[in-house]
Amino acid sequence: MNPPPVKPLKKRLGRIGLGTATFGREIDPDDSFAMMDHARVRGIALFDTASTYSDGISEQVVGAWLASRRPGPDELVVATKLRAPYTPKRIEEMLGRSLRYLGRESVELYYLHEWDDTAVDPTVLAALEEVVRSGKAGALAVSNFSGEQLERILRLQSELGFTPFRAVQNNHNFAIRNVDDAVLRASAGHNLAVITYSPLGAGFLTGKHKGGVAPGSRFDIMPGHRKKYFQDQAWHRLAQLEAAAARTGRSLPQLALAWVMRQPGINTVLVGGRTPAHLDQAFAALEFSAAEFPPELE
């Protein structure tokens, strides 16, 4: 009997993915395991990590969970990322470290974590092509790229005859929107899956930072996040969200999550957090009907 065909990448990713940036930083391994166990129960397939999340601790926690739970070979899409600058040597070394930490011979998705001019070095693209040909990654992806940058790197890959990137992952929420028309056009034109992260703006859209940075929060642990959100446009959008919440009786997280889930052209929304309840509220946001969603937030 022939094995069942493997689903295309977009279908394998699912509507909600698990972001693991909090693992080893805001939550300990036990709580991280609880998040992954719950994600598995809820049918989440995409587990997204990066070599820089707590300098590899997130990858190690995910790897320990994989070794303990032993999911089936086609059950999960495990993704990790490499920070710039990019060189063939760094790709070889850092991917090797990521695979050791994850306890795997390959990952389903391997990302360039951010735009950098070194990304369009032909020797770097050749090294990434070898990653795919060797089977160490099922597909390549990029994160934090603009539409223009996407078009540029995909055009060069095509000219060199290399395997194209298959997904793009950008920050996108009611306050900060980095999946614009240019990204959507490039993604649709090249059949890339569009993945978003930070649906609650690292907690900004919960309103808990209005009186100052909440102790122990992402903005406290990583002050660099503040410059993205502590600016006029983001505060204005938070005020819009608060007004809609007051009128409808819905919570800020409910409305912020529902907004992201309703955005056209987005394949998957990454959801992280500290407890399984954070995943549950994302699934609840999927159930918002068009009639329930406040029209002023469209």
Residue 6 has pLDDT above 60, yes or no: no
| Residues near 270 by beta carbon (within 8 Å), at least 6 away in sequence | 16, 17, 18, 19, 46, 48, 169, 195, 196, 197, 198, 199
Tell me whether residue 3 is in a domain.
no
CB 37 within 8 A of CB 7: no
For the entire predicted model, the pTM comes to 0.95
Please state, in angstroms and rounded to a whole number, the distance separating the CA atoms of residues 127 and 119.
11
Tell me whether residue 2 is in a domain.
no
**pLDDT confidence of residue 124:** 98
Bridge-based pairing state of the strands 46-48 and 16-19: parallel
For the segment 219-234, the average pLDDT, to the nearest whole number, is 85
CATH of the domain at 165: 3.20.20.100
Spatial CA neighbour of 157 closest among 182, 115, 129:
129
Beta bridge partners of 23: 27
- pLDDT tens digits for 9-54? 888 999 999 999 999 999 999 999 999 999 999 999 999 999 999 9
Report the number of distinct structural domains present in the chain.
1
- pLDDT tens digits for 148-196? 999 999 999 999 999 999 999 999 999 999 999 999 999 999 999 999 9
**pLDDT confidence of residue 221:** 76
Task: Supply the range of the domain harboring residue 254.
Answer: 9-287
Tell me whether residue 215 is in a domain.
yes
**pLDDT confidence of residue 283:** 96
Tell me whether residue 158 is in a domain.
yes
- Write the CA distances from 220 to 60, 78, 90, 202, 242, integer angstroms: 24, 28, 30, 11, 23
For the segment 126-131, the average pLDDT, to the nearest whole number, is 98
Tell me whether residue 296 is in a domain.
no
**pLDDT confidence of residue 290:** 82
